Amino acid sequence: MIRILVVDSHRLFRMGLRKMLPEANGFNIVAEAESGEQAVDLARELMPHVVLMDILMPGIGGLEATVRIRRMNPDVRVIALTACETNPFPVQMLRAGAIGYLTKGVHQDELHLAIRKVYAGRRYVCSEIAQQLAIEAFDTEQGSPFNRLSGREMQIMLMVINCHKVNDISENLHLSPKTVNSYRYRIFEKLSVSSDVELTLLAVRYGLIRPEASGFAEVG
């Protein structure tokens, strides 16, 4: 029986996964988490074989949760299961330690296949993401500028564009405010922006955040 931890901030989606992963097919959902922090705690307590991890969630989010879970137990297999279909999310999640990447439109049969392959220690990336990664590897003009960011920079950038204050980021990521600001200005330099507003507009342009969620619905 493959022990699975489901991590997603949407309760209805988690309920749907329970129907898609019945015990009769060899899957046992041992727990559900609605945040990255909760996922880390449950992974430590329950030691699942596989974690199905969303990326954009309150708090530390899926990137940082993946890093912490893999650091805590390298044998845990993390599959990103997310609505984030464009880079830099696939690249960043794979760098963080995920060995699978699926979009939320995946068919039930492919989800079963991915979990079994990852449980066996093999990578699994759905076809549309694999194609995107292959194209960008050979065509740098197609790549997202956000690929230049490290995993930690990516996590802080996501929190900044979602209106987290420096002190909140500092507390969530166990960093000093001075260190957070150092990362913030390094992000600005790498992306050639000079403010949080410019950073958010760039994130909207590359699909990292919806315009209505950013407060810039009128842009474009």
- Lookup result for tokens 């230049």: 148
| Confidence at 142, pLDDT banded by 50, 70, 90 | low
Q: Is the pTM of this model over 0.75?
A: yes
Give span(s): CATH 3.40.50.2300, the chain. 2-137
Fold (topology level) of 2-137: Rossmann fold (3.40.50)
Q: By the 8 A CB rule, do 155 and 99 touch?
A: no
Give span(s): CATH 1.10.10.10, the chain. 145-214
pLDDT in tens, 32-82: 999 999 999 999 999 999 999 999 888 888 999 999 999 999 999 999 999
Q: Which of 7, 57, 54 is nearest to 29 (CA)?
A: 7
Query: Would you tell me which CATH number, out of the four given (1.10.10.10, 1.10.287.110, 3.90.1150.10, 1.10.150.20), belongs to the domain 145-214?
Result: 1.10.10.10
